[in-house]
């Protein structure tokens, strides 16, 4: 499934549920939406070090200062 299809599916669900944004924090959800990007550092944690905020018309990677550059350069170019 292409990234465009994933985006359309998620935004369609957001519209049906009448929510303005979705925050993807769990590694499986982050990887699904980004086509395999890895937001994990601590393998035992249920959430990753970066999240993906998806709105009706934009996507934002949210991370702390320590992980932001790595996520930008290595995982979400």
**What mean pLDDT do residues 1-12 have?**
93
CA distances from 28 to 34, 39, 63, 65, 76 (A): 10, 9, 17, 23, 15
9-56 residue pLDDT tens = 999 999 999 999 999 999 999 999 999 999 998 888 999 999 999 999
For 50-73, the pLDDT digits (tens) are: 999 999 999 999 998 888 888 888
Interatomic CA distance for residues 13 and 67, integer angstroms: 29
Residue 77 confidence (pLDDT) above 80 = no
DSSP for 44-69, written as a single string:
T-SS-SEEEEEESS-EEEEE-HHHHH
Question: Residue 67 has what pLDDT?
Answer: 87
Give me the pLDDT at residue 57, please: 95
User: In whole angstroms, what separates CA 59 from the centre of its chain?
Assistant: 8
| Cα gap 3→70, rounded to integer Å | 21
């Amino acid at each position: 499934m292409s990234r465009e299809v994933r985006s359309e599916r998620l935004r369609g669900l957001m519209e049906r549920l009448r929510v303005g944004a979705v925050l993807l924090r769990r590694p499986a959800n982050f990887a699904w939406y980004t086509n395999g990007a890895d937001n994990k550092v601590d393998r035992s944690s249920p959430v990753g070090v970066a999240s993906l905020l998806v709105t009706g018309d934009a996507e934002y990677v949210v991370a702390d200062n320590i992980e932001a550059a790595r996520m930008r350069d290595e995982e979400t170019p």
